[in-house]
């Protein structure tokens, strides 16, 4: 039967000590260090032992890291939605008829006016794509006004905490900036005319309730909503995917946040 290494040490230690020389004792120490180190290295890790925690980022790193992540998310979101078909070919944010006008759309398509509806929908989305470009300076200003306390709360908050922060702090200004652009583009794209034609055709039908939703207000709100949907998607990527943390600072700050939440 194979004996444990301590069994052999019972005989080895007295024998070497009997030599009485310093070199021999030093040699014994070297042997013991080697054997004990080898033994420890072969032991399995104790179940439940925690891995060392990542060093906590400084308050400056947290503030800078959160702002850097937001800047990336905002830039990517704006770039994506302001491109041609950025709204129109994205099922998550495509602007369609307002809920109160969907019955109108169904009725008009049913009497052969589907092409008129399609032109209107395309023009809604083109207006939203054009307006999205106006968001950049508004977001930049909001980033500058963000406090350290804001940044810390956002870092350790839910997966879309930063997007929610921007909704709260920028929506009013976005509306004031987006609406004139939306109105101009709806007019330029012919949406106002298509919308007026559709409402007139529908309201001329017998036994229907007359409607005329505020098209500019509706498309403005949908443009803002769509922009924030895409910003939220990018925020979730940075928080949840290591590959989306494209700078050492993002890796440190959001790695720390994920560890605090028990996700890494």
Bigger pLDDT: 16 or 204? 204
Give the pLDDT mean for 243-261. Answer: 86
Q: Which helix (H) or strand (E) holds 182?
A: helix 161-189
The least confident of 40-54, 101-115, 130-144, 250-264 is 40-54
Nearest to 182 by CA among 244, 126, 254: 126
Strand ranges, E, within the chain: none
| Ramachandran class of 49: left when φ > 0, alpha when ψ lies in -120 to 50, beta otherwise | beta
CB 189 within 8 A of CB 126: yes
Encode pLDDT of 6-35 as tens digits: 444 444 444 444 444 444 444 545 544 544
Give SS3 for 44: coil
53, pLDDT greater than 70 = no
Q: How far is CA 187 from CA 28, 84, 197, 232, in A?
A: 92, 18, 13, 30
Average pLDDT over residues 229-255: 87
Contact 223, 178 (CB under 8 A): yes
Q: What is the average pLDDT across 218-232?
A: 93
* Full-model pTM: 0.70
Mean pLDDT taken over the chain: 78
């Amino acid at each position: 039967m194979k004996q444990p290494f301590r069994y052999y040490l019972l005989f080895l230690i007295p024998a070497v000590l009997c030599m009485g020389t310093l070199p021999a004792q030093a040699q014994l120490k070297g042997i013991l260090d080697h054997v004990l180190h080898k033994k420890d290295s072969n032991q399995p890790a104790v179940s439940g032992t925690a891995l060392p925690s990542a060093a906590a980022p400084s308050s400056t790193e947290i503030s800078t890291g959160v702002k850097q992540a937001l800047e990336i998310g905002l830039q990517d979101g704006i770039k994506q939605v302001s491109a041609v078909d950025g709204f129109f070919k994205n099922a998550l944010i495509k602007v369609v008829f307002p809920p109160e006008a969907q019955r109108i759309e169904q009725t008009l398509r049913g009497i052969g006016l589907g092409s008129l509806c399609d032109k209107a929908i395309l023009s809604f989305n083109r207006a939203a794509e054009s307006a999205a470009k106006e968001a950049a300076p508004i977001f930049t200003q909001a980033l500058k006004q963000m406090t350290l306390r804001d940044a810390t709360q956002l870092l350790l908050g839910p997966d879309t905490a930063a997007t929610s922060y921007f909704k709260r702090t920028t929506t009013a200004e976005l509306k004031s900036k987006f609406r004139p652009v939306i109105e101009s583009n709806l007019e330029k794209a012919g949406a106002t005319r298509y919308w007026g034609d559709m409402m007139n055709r529908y309201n001329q039908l017998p036994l229907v309730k007359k409607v005329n939703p505020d098209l500019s207000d509706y498309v403005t709100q949908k443009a803002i909503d769509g922009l924030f949907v895409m910003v939220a998607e990018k925020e979730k990527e940075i928080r949840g995917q290591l590959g989306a943390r494209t700078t050492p600072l993002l890796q440190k700050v959001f790695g720390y946040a994920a560890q605090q939440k028990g996700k890494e």
